[in-house]
A and B are shown apart, each in its own frame.
Chain A
Amino acid sequence: MTPDPHSVPFLSLLLVFVSAAFTDNILLVRFLGLCPCLGVSKKVDASVGLGLAVTFVTACTAVLNYWVYRYLLIPLDIVYLRLIVFIVVIAAFVQLVEMVVERLSERLYQALGIFLPLITVNCAILGTALFMIARPYNATQAFVFGLGSGFGWLVAITLIGGIREKIDEKHVPPGLRGPGLTLIVIGIMSLAFVVFSGMIKL
């Protein structure tokens, strides 16, 4: 059953957004985008910067990949090429954004510049595209799903950044310092997000 592409009730979009951002949080429930998260989440500012960039790229590439998949891969019967095509779309889009941002605003480029190369290999973005095609979404819903996923990632990494700023000053066993402790923090947060879904999905 595919919804009519021209009339999408607002409520269903809201539902897609909330479920992508919270009950199916891409970082805490789906485990995606962890490497950049562990690397960058030492400070809140950097976390927010990267989070915003990821949200923007995820939302845009979700809908781009939706079009490519729906109007190119399916009609030509080359769905098995989807992995290569998606990663190329994402890499090309990131490159494009980098060039546009460089032209438009020197300050924004300084702020975002270091994050952009990290984004191409952020599995949250490719993951969103792969989860998106597994569901019966239309273009609008795909965009909102991407937006929600990115937003969920932003929320998670910002919270983790805030907690780490405090926790890194404390005395912890040397072996647990850094990634180990962060993983435990993420685990506890994940516990909270899993409860959002209200049921256990296996």
Chain B
Amino acid sequence: MSVRARDIFKAGLIGDNPVYRQVLGICSALAVTNLLANTLFMCFGVVFTATLTNVTVSLLRRHIPKRVRMIAQVLIIASYVMMVDTLIRALNPDIHRFIGPYVGLIITNCIIMGRAEAFAAQNPPWPSLLDGLACGLGYSLVLIAIALVREPMGFGTLLGIPLPARELWWHSWTIMLMPPGAFFMLAILTWIARSRTGAKETSA
């Protein structure tokens, strides 16, 4: 891996993490994180879509006229999301019933559109692939971190398996399953991450 490739990767994963640094794509970050299994499927969808969209946009970057590039990018994203949607439904219909609408909403996930516009539209396919992958994984990292707190605290389970504490003394925090719990968790995570990396004002 060349130095440049490593830089792209590190930026997407930590330095410019799409969720807590750029504050993009948090809608789905909150909705699917009450169960780790849902989260993993959602992350798969985002990594898949982000990577392939970046490659496609990069390959077509000289052929798409400037005026219609937004709509062209949306159509590329929508095609990949449709594939992911079908795939998840085939793999696990139960999970699809719950996260289905949110999988569809990957189309309007600003991370993917943002990276396509900001990076892939100006760079060759290989770095674009890495950039998409890194941003998708950076997003997954935050989602999994939130889910790792919400599921054990809310249900007393992890990936559906009951944790020992649940039998002994733990009372489930229902609030962690409800929307407010998700907002608080993301707020705390943003706070920690920004304090550690030096608070730079980057509100969207």
Using CB atoms and an 8 Å cutoff, list the residues of chain A in contact with chain B: 28-35, 38-39, 80-84, 87-88, 91, 117, 120-123, 126-127, 130-131, 134, 173-181, 183-184, 186-188, 190-191, 194, 200, 202
Contacts and interface: CB of A to CB of B under 8 A. Distances in A.
A198 B40 CA distance: 30
Nearest to B35: A202
Interface string B110-130: 100100000000000000000
13 contacts: A38-B23, A84-B82, A87-B108, A120-B70, A121-B108, A126-B104, A175-B192, A175-B196, A179-B23, A180-B187, A184-B183, A184-B184, A187-B182
B71 interface: yes
Bin the interface of chain B by size. 35 or more
Nearest to A117: B70
Contacts of A122: 108
Contact of A33 (B27, B113, B187, B202): B27
B105 A183 contact: no
B201 A178 contact: yes
Contacts of B178: 190-191, 194, 200
Interface of B: 23-28, 30-31, 34, 70-71, 74-75, 78-79, 81-82, 85-86, 100-101, 104-105, 107-110, 113, 174-175, 177-184, 186-187, 190-196, 199, 201-204
A174 B191 CA distance: 9
A183 B27 contact: no
